[in-house]
Chains A and B, each alone.
Chain A
């Protein structure tokens, strides 16, 4: 067969959103790739310049439907840095709990979306069944299941409801049992490993240069986690470890990127438990939150997919003068020709699925 271009997307089972991947194949081997974005561009940055600071949390919620709280939190942190607002300790604990619950839900959503990419429909239903548990938990304090709008500038929307800790503990216990069960179905399965091992390899230094961060970078064995390295909220007071995996010396493949997320989910469970243990009583909202701000500030947080960076410039009015969002997937997708070349056509879903694409945040 001669070389030919195949256009995958914007509507294709592989894409997990709206984007186009044009691949040039020689028979079944990928020779070249060209990603294209913009189908979901909503000009969030431009809209943000027309809205007041506190109104923008609705926009940040909608950046990524799988992980909306982490994006709002990232924005809220940057605004607090800009306005120099102190957040009460209890609010920080509640935020951490919500962030980790959201990370669990997001990783489960990813795992559920990854399994059909490999031809495993049952896996999707199992992981999405578990995601429902965490959506139920997130619903209790915030009142909604997908777009929470729970993080507010200077604190959180409201305190945790009664009995939240017991319910969370019950669900976490169930979830841990289930993760152990799934190990036999997925990571110990021969065919699953045949599909994921030695596929989509890149080294840690390549990944940093290409702008790949988060779990994908930790899957290369690089111990980099912004929750520790640019610490925020109360992550440094909690007992937990940054987990790393590597497929070989310094590089990652789809399997190590799968495993790092499973490890991270277990770590999140640990963080939530420890938060409940150490959580003090007190107010959940800062007493004084200004409306206007000037100067510039940025904060970066560890989103479920990598490094989320919010850069804000204020001109003294109640609206941001410039608001820039750094999405981890934007650069990761841009590098996809590098880690797709040389693999088979059937590896495209396996590789692109394993890096956990979310087009909402990518297209902004």
Chain B
């Protein structure tokens, strides 16, 4: 395979956007194939949006439906806001991958199937009846089907190498990657560079992977079955410098950036949990920024260590998912009571209890707002996309530090693992963050230091152990106004409950005015979303507007306190629709707070909305 055969003439067709889904066994290297092809397209200039869909089990039995791993990529020469409702191309490594994902393929779509994954054993594992093979029984006649014996071709490419059969088969995914790059007229340079870095210390594996990658590409060129290549031109994106980023990366980078801008050391206390662990992994690689990561003994210790670090004058941060956040509840109350900066990120997953760890949901909104004893209002923010995770965590830090309060940021599994291009900012353009440090004093000062005296925003000073003349005691027990000494006085308690709540409420005064994402300033229908439903709602709203409907879209990022302009906005539309990946948590809040007849559009399947689902839901409400 050293010499590249003469390419036969092939036609090249242009495509505006393509949705491609790679699927296979969890050991097939699907996530790598998908993310590599994503990076190639993003670097080429396409807009991209991805949806990695992991199996629940670490390594479910090979070939079974439970072990299917998927990576969906939407790339285009136009703006894309979601990973796509339906796929144009489905690449499957085995029978189970086909069975699990065929419903997502559009009629007439293309299937590229690894025929080796459709032997009797694989077909049986996937639950196909005996003697039935979808590749040969014409059940796929409504699709364009290409069968390729990826396994055999990979082994052929590696003939003569000293690698064992298992090792050879492990590079199957590179064959697929090479082939797909050919199919979409992409260069292999970027992937080659990646492999060179990855296998730097293993030259034998590097050579093998490069060989197979090239073999896959050449196969497209030489095979008679593939007559057409496609081309997706760069998208007209705003000028600037871009990189690709997942939501969890956005959070990690945002935390480092915010800590740097605030002049604080970043301390991250965390306990491993899906889908939040990548934040810990990412941060632990950034110790040269002075980042301290602490893998605690449990979720409670994770938040408590972060509280301790904030008490010690650092920026204390913890992240988890629903079950872990439940364990952190008491400590969140403590941080609220202490009035100390703390950022808590909840990368939501399907619940309740252990629920669906690898799937996505937005069902922890009430937990974030109400999951504490006593009256403990804590600002709650929600990120709407992978890149928005950076912006929102930055804001979470700013609010926590400048207002001396814990802040909860809600992300979810969908945007945490999904990627999109990010026009990243320059450090100098990031908003300043100013900690309200107390001024050290000479101990001869006559007046005692008042740790709970407040400024005009209701914010107390941050006095850090080691600061001269500011010794004081704080705690979770109710404190006397200003002095912070223990107080059981009834009037004082009511006053303190009020003061703490007012401080948090005033945070709404710092928000930018509420802004529609799209649509008319008043009219028939307002669609209100929050968090990761952004892309699906945006796509649907733009389509509805194109169709001539009076539909506007607003995406909430401030779940508590609400934007001061929300009440006015709600009054400008006859109908309000609230799509959520839960049974109606925001809808109930809107009804309670604003007495508005908000209608729900709810999906609780561990899967994100498709834009079509939103469009249909909106049309139904418009017609009612």
A and B part of one assembly: no
Residues of B within 8 A of A (CB): none
